[in-house]
Structures are given as C-alpha cells and as structure tokens.
Amino acid sequence: MVSGDRKSQWLISIIGIVSALLLLSACGGTSAGNPAGSPTASAGAIAVVAAENFYGDIVKQIGGNHVNVVSILSDPNIDPHEYQSNYQTAQNVSKAQLVIENGGGYDDWMDKVLASVPISNRVLIKAFDTAKVHLEDNEHVWYSIDNAQTIAQAITDNLKTLQPASAADFDNNLKQFSQGLQPVLQKVSDIKTKYANAPVALTETIFLYQTAAMNLKVLTPLELEKAVAEGNDPPANAIITAENQIKQKQVKVLIYNGQTSTPVTQKLLKDAQALNIPTVTVTETMPQGKTYQSWMLDQLTALEKALGQ
C-alpha cells in the first residue's frame, strides 16, 4: 500500500515530468544535444528502454547493432525498491519504440511513466506476464533461468515485428543467447546433484527461484524473507527463528541479498560470519561488466564453493 506522502511525491514528480516534456515539445521536440545513453542515439536502430539492466542486456544480446538500449536501474549498490523516476527517464521512454519492464508489482514506477507519456504504437513487454515459472508472491521472475529463455523469445518476436528485415539476425542471436545459458543450467544441475536438500538461509525471496531449481532446503521463515523484500519489518518470531538457525549452525550457507540490506539482515550476516558459516552475496540488478549469463553463473559458482566448505 502506498502512503499519502509517497503519493504526493509521485504526483509532484509526474507534474514536473509532464511539464518538462511539454516544454520540450514546444521547443521543437529535441533537446540541446542528444545525451549519451539516449535510446535514439544510433540512427536506424530500434530505440529500447529497459526498466532493469539485466533485461537491457538480454535485449542487447539479441538485438545486436540493430538496437539502442537505455537501462534505468543499473547500480547494484542501490535498492531497486526505492527508485523514483525523473525527467530523464520520461524523456527516454517518450522516444522508445520498445519498453521492457518486470511487472508483477516490482517496478510500478515504470507504468506511471508510461502513462505520463502515452504513445499508441509503443511495444511493451512485461516479463512477469511473459514468464511461465511463478512462485507465490514472488515477482523476481528473472532469477529463473527457464523464464530468462522465455523472456528472450518474447523479446526476439517483438524485435522481428519492429524490424522484419533483421529477423534472421535476431533469430541467430537468440540461439547464441540460449547457448550462453547452457553453462548456467549445467551449474544448477551440478549443485542439485551434489547438494540437494542442503539447508540454507536466505535474507530475501529473490533467490527462491534458484533454490527451488536446485532442491535446496530453505530454513529461513518465509515471513522474514517476504517482509525484507517488501521493505517491511519482519515478525519478531520470524527474526528469532532465523537468528537461532544461524547461531545453532543449522544452515550450511547464508545467501544474502546485498541490495536489500536492513538491520535484521545485517545482523544475520554478521552472526554467520562470526561463526564461519559461508555467505554468498547476490544482487537484484546486474553488476557492471557482466552479462545476464555471467552474472548468474558467477553467483552459482560462489554458492557451489560455499556449499562445499
């Protein structure tokens, strides 16, 4: 539920965005120089805006030089749930032929930006709606490798519609993307084979898509994970249970979401480190210099190592 203060902040933000866009339009529809990262910077390329950088990366891998992508959320040191859009976001979206967001309540700010700059022929992909694998009350669908493949196919289909002449390139790039997922899928299979039912702790729900695929046994109360994911205070009994699981060394590994750090999760991390329980940090957005595949593979490799200690 959105508080009155946050609604007021959003209305003020949207009014400012719309006013700025109207002024921009009155001045001829162009800015004083196309900024770096504008989705229209490359002539002839499909202008794409991705709400999150991992989706932007998938679009780049499939679109190649036929797309120009701007990713809005790209800093793994910032909590994505606290993002507020600005004029630059609205300006980029106003020029985009294709927009991809997660949906499912994860990035509602993008829906509001889209509504503020309506374009009838703009293509919108909502990954949550496209994904086939869903966990209850868990919008982090990109953490399912199977979902990534499904979403990549949807991206390919839409790019082919927008630029039919490049369809063969898009299909070929999709094949390469899929091949790049194979080492990730193999790592998931390897961990499942070696460590099925191994007890682990999570600070947040994001990694449940992968613990389920690897058949790891998550002991942390779901109430705590969900509260942290939603920016709420976990129930006291859930905190006590999670802390006792660490103190009593009931778990082999603590998987820690570094982007949704709270006093509760920081204490769990500190306690685990004090007891030499291996910890693995995961992120919601993709670190710089990574691809979707290398990001997932690196985290899984770290987890495999931690489980083996």
Q: What is the pLDDT of residue 7?
A: 41
Selection from 1-10, 24-33, 80-89 with the highest mean pLDDT: 80-89
Q: Is 5 among the domain residues? A: no
177 and 188 together in one domain: no
269-276, Cβ contacts within 8 angstroms, sequence gap of 24 or more: 269/203, 271/243, 271/246, 271/247, 272/201, 272/246, 275/246, 275/247, 275/249
Q: What is the pLDDT of residue 5?
A: 43
48 and 138 together in one domain: yes
Q: What is the pLDDT of residue 258?
A: 92
Last residue of a domain, one of 162, 181, 200: 181
Over 60: is that where the pLDDT of 283 sits?
yes
Q: Tokens in use for 259?
A: 């982007």
Last residue of a domain, one of 156, 181, 206: 181
25 and 36 together in one domain: yes
17 and 142 together in one domain: yes
Over 90: is that where the pLDDT of 76 sits?
no
Last residue of a domain, one of 151, 181, 211: 181
Mean pLDDT of 275-301: 97
Over 70: is that where the pLDDT of 176 sits?
yes
Contact (Cβ atoms closer than 8 angstroms) between residue 51 and residue 126: no
Q: Which residue would you say has higher pLDDT here, 25 or 63?
A: 63
Q: What is the pLDDT of residue 2?
A: 38
Q: What is the pLDDT of residues 123-174, one digit of tens each?
A: 999 999 999 999 999 999 999 999 999 999 999 999 999 999 999 999 999 9
162 and 223 together in one domain: no
Counting the structural domains of the chain, the total is 2
142 and 291 together in one domain: no
Q: Is 53 among the domain residues? A: yes
200 and 176 together in one domain: no
Over 50: is that where the pLDDT of 250 sits?
yes
145 and 223 together in one domain: no
Q: What is the pLDDT of residue 296?
A: 98
pTM: 0.86
193 and 245 together in one domain: yes
Q: Is 236 among the domain residues? A: yes
The CATH number given to whatever domain includes residue 214 is 3.40.50.1980
Q: What is the pLDDT of residue 43?
A: 65
Q: What is the pLDDT of residue 78?
A: 74
Mean pLDDT of the chain: 88
Mean pLDDT of 94-120: 95
207 and 286 together in one domain: yes
Q: Is 52 among the domain residues? A: yes
Over 80: is that where the pLDDT of 56 sits?
yes
Q: Is 272 among the domain residues? A: yes
Over 80: is that where the pLDDT of 50 sits?
yes
62 and 19 together in one domain: yes
Q: Is 1 among the domain residues? A: no
Q: What is the pLDDT of residue 114?
A: 96
Residue numbers of the domain that contains 233: 184-307
158 and 200 together in one domain: no
Q: What is the pLDDT of residue 149?
A: 98
Over 50: is that where the pLDDT of 19 sits?
no
The closest alpha carbon to 92, from 32, 144, 158, 39, belongs to 39
Percent of the chain with pLDDT over 70: 86
Q: Is 256 among the domain residues? A: yes
The closest alpha carbon to 285, from 79, 48, 93, belongs to 79
Residue 17: partners with Cβ closer than 8 Å, 6 or more residues away: 85, 86, 87, 89, 90, 113, 116, 117
Q: Is 99 among the domain residues? A: yes
Q: What is the pLDDT of residue 22?
A: 40
Residue 308's SS3 state is coil
